[in-house]
């Protein structure tokens, strides 16, 4: 994740939830929004509904690894990406999460020309 920095501020997450384009999937929800910097920003959210702390951290690590693989294929510079984990994400392997994130990003880029 060379060109990616983390989104940590609550205001940035709230802006994404209200203004960004999103794709709701079975495992994750992906939000995309253009930013004004030359770097990509990534935010990962896993609520208590996903599971206990161990499960949430595992899901976050899985999503981060899937994003790192996807970043090698696609250019995310100039985009804010927020990925929200859902409860079924706990019991699947990283490959399925990767494929769903990839399909969601492709759909959003094609439909909204982001």
In a domain, 22, yes or no: yes
Domain, as residue range, for 60: 4-107
In a domain, 113, yes or no: no
**Residue-level pLDDT at 3:** 82
User: Is residue 37 a contact partner of residue 78, using CB atoms and an 8 Å limit?
Assistant: yes
Domain containing residue 58: CATH number: 3.30.230.10
In a domain, 114, yes or no: no
Full-model pTM: 0.96
- Residues 1-42 pLDDT 10s: 778 999 999 999 999 999 999 999 999 999 999 998 989 999
Compute the distance between CA of residue 86 and CA of residue 27 in angstroms, rounded to an integer. 5
In a domain, 96, yes or no: yes
- Residues 34-81 pLDDT 10s: 998 989 999 999 999 999 999 999 999 999 999 999 999 999 999 999
Give residue for tokens 């696609």: 74
The number of folded domains in the chain is 1
In a domain, 67, yes or no: yes
In a domain, 28, yes or no: yes
In a domain, 49, yes or no: yes
In a domain, 8, yes or no: yes
**Residue-level pLDDT at 14:** 96
**Residue-level pLDDT at 1:** 79
**Residue-level pLDDT at 114:** 85
Mention every residue, 6+ apart, whose C-beta is less than 8 A from residue 20: 31, 32, 33, 80, 82
């Amino acid at each position: 994740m060379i060109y990616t920095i983390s989104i940590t501020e609550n205001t940035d997450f709230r802006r994404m939830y209200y203004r960004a384009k999103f794709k709701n999937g079975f495992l994750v929800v992906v939000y995309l929004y253009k930013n004004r910097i030359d770097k990509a920003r990534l935010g990962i959210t896993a609520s208590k509904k996903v599971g206990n702390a161990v499960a949430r951290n595992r899901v976050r690590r899985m999503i981060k690894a899937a994003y790192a693989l996807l970043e090698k294929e696609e250019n995310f510079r100039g985009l804010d990406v927020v990925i929200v984990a859902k409860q079924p994400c706990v019991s699947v392997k990283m490959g399925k999460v990767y494929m769903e994130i990839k399909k969601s990003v492709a759909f959003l880029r094609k439909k909204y020309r982001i």
